């Protein structure tokens, strides 16, 4: 089995890394050789460390999982400028290819929303297009989610990429009518498959069913 995925989000803070780790834990628990890849991290490396832990690979070099780390918590393009660093598509693709050569499943955890700028004229969407991986779209299950999914799906499809489906991640404790009905609205509006709905605090997900492995 060789199948890799790009985990994208409709916005910052929707739980991309949380979902990535949940998927990795389940895959590894099933004995599936899986790895996570966080190409760019800003502010700290907590998410990259969580990915390494979910892989069950404590000795894995953090630089292999997260090749570009920027201490400044800002848009990557600005953080890189402030730190006098340059982010290139080549280094990010090479980092992915090194993991893909060693593991049967690689989950690429995107940074920020779909078009998050990494360098002048170069965004996270450009990386996704270069990798040509099926996309898993994560959205915070709240009012307005359906519109954000529609906009992001349009951008994903415009790149000629396949969106395998949507994961609704309920971040807040409270439920609203929108939270209960978003799955149906998104499915009817976009035709996208709802792969999973995570309730607040849920850290388990059936990776094989969700990813279609």
What are the catalytic residues? 38
CA distance 182 to 70: 35
| CA–CA separation, 61 and 147 (whole Å) | 39
Which residues fall within 8 angstroms of residue 145, CB to CB, at 6 or more apart? Answer: 10, 139, 168, 178, 182, 186
| Stretch (H or E) spanning 29 | helix 16-29
Separation CA 145–CA 133 (nearest Å): 23
Could you tell me the sign of the dihedral formed by the alpha carbons of 121, 127, 132, 134, in that order?
negative
* Burial per residue of 27-53, b for 16 or more beta-carbon CB atoms within 10 angstroms, e otherwise: bbeeebebbbbbbbbbeebebbbbbbe
Q: At 61, list the tokens.
A: 């070099």
CB 10 within 8 A of CB 141: no
Q: What are the tokens at 62?
A: 């953090």
């Amino acid at each position: 089995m060789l199948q890799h995925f790009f985990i994208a989000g409709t916005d910052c803070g929707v739980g991309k890394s949380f979902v990535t780790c949940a998927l990795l834990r389940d895959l590894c628990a099933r004995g599936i050789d899986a790895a996570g890849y966080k190409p760019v991290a800003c502010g700290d490396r907590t998410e990259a460390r969580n990915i390494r832990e979910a892989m069950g690979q404590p000795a894995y070099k953090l630089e292999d999982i997260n090749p570009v780390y920027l201490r400044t918590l800002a848009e990557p393009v600005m953080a890189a400028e402030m730190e006098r660093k340059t982010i290139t598509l080549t280094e990010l693709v090479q980092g992915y290819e090194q993991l893909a050569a060693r593991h049967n499943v690689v989950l690429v955890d995107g940074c920020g929303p779909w078009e998050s700028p990494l360098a002048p004229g170069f965004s996270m969407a450009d990386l996704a297009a270069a990798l040509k991986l099926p996309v898993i779209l994560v959205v915070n299950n709240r009012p307005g989610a359906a519109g954000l999914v529609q906009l992001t799906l349009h951008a994903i499809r415009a790149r000629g990429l396949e969106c395998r489906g949507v994961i609704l991640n309920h971040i807040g404790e409270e439920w609203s009518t929108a939270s209960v009905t978003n799955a149906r609205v998104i499915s009817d509006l976009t035709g996208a498959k709802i792969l999973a709905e995570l309730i607040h605090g849920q850290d388990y997900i059936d990776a094989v069913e969700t990813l279609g492995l």
